[in-house]
Amino acid sequence: MALTPSTMLPLGTALPFTAISAVLAAGRARQVSGEPLQLETLGQRPLLVLFLCAHCPFVKHVEPEITRLQAHVATPTAAAPQPPLALLAISSNSTATHPQDGPEGLRAQAERHGWRFPYLFDEGQQLARAFRAACTPDPFLFAPAADGVSRLVYRGQLDASRPGNAEPRDGRDIRAAIAAVLAGEPVAAEQRPAIGCNIKWHPGEEPEWAR
């Protein structure tokens, strides 16, 4: 395990919708549930993209908070059939080195925690490259901007908790960013990188920023 921070993609970066669409169309990524992903819903409201995997202890540490986030802001109700926030999880780890992070392991992880949001297995790792994702977990929050494009407003840690420290697992950083977006307010510019296991790139195919 290599302890790795997020790359802190520049704020204002557009959601790589075209890259997601192309990768899905080429069959290089798919939902672990086997269901098709409804792409048209992704850019219409705030979207939290989470790079995860099944084996990483840093992901296991925050799994309960991800479940709570789903319940609080991303679950349909009778009063709000379309929740205010969309969630999308992506796992890009190479199964050549970590077979437990393949579709079956990811599907079991989602079922174990009751995750109902889309969870993509990024077999070709193009999505990780499109987001410049570096670690697990690695969160990216996008919100529709005035120009009609969904743009990055937060990237970094869920909270300050890590396996073995005493900080509360309450998602305070990402929750503050989500609350600001839903209230139509600017997200705080001071953002701390996420820390986790490095994404397991296919042998010999690590991007420049991961070397």
Domain assignment of residue 34, given as a range:
3-70+83-210
Token pair listed for 14: 């557009």
- CATH number of domain containing 102: 3.40.30.10
By the 8 A CB rule, do 58 and 165 touch?
Answer: no
Residue 21, domain member (yes or no): yes
Residue 77, domain member (yes or no): no
Total domains, the chain: 1
- What is residue 1's predicted lDDT score, i.e. its pLDDT? 58
Residue type, 149: V
- What is residue 209's predicted lDDT score, i.e. its pLDDT? 83
Residue 149, domain member (yes or no): yes
Residue 203, domain member (yes or no): yes
Residue 75, domain member (yes or no): no
For the four alpha carbons of 146, 147, 148 and 154, in that order, the dihedral sign comes to: negative
Residue 173, domain member (yes or no): yes
First-last CA distance in the chain = 14
Q: What is the pTM of this model?
A: 0.96
For the four alpha carbons of 165, 168, 171 and 173, in that order, the dihedral sign comes to: negative
Question: Residue 58: what are its φ and ψ, rounded to 5°?
Answer: -70, -35
Q: What is the largest CA-CA distance in the chain?
A: 50
- What is residue 38's predicted lDDT score, i.e. its pLDDT? 79
Burial code (b: 16+ CB inside 10 Å, e: under 16) for 3-42 equals ebbbbebeeebebbbeebeebbeeeebbbbbeeebeeeeb
> Strand, coil or helix: what is 198?
strand
* Residue whose C-alpha is closest to residue 191's, from 180, 204, 202: 180
- What is residue 67's predicted lDDT score, i.e. its pLDDT? 97
- What is residue 44's predicted lDDT score, i.e. its pLDDT? 78
pLDDT (tens digit per residue) in 151-182: 999 999 999 999 999 999 999 999 999 999 99
Residue 52, domain member (yes or no): yes
- What is residue 35's predicted lDDT score, i.e. its pLDDT? 87
Q: Along the 211 residues of the chain, how does pLDDT read in single tens digits?
A: 578 999 999 999 999 999 999 999 999 999 999 888 878 767 679 999 999 999 999 999 999 999 999 998 888 776 667 788 999 999 999 999 999 999 999 999 999 999 999 999 999 999 999 999 999 999 999 999 999 899 999 999 999 999 999 999 999 999 999 999 999 999 999 999 999 999 999 999 999 888 7
Residue 159, domain member (yes or no): yes
Burial code (b: 16+ CB inside 10 Å, e: under 16) for 63-87 equals bebbeebbeebbeeeeeeeebebbb
Question: Residue 128: what are its φ and ψ, rounded to 5°?
Answer: -60, -40
Query: Quick check: bond before 83 cis, omega within 30?
Result: no
- What is residue 43's predicted lDDT score, i.e. its pLDDT? 65
Distance CA 127, CA 120 (A): 10
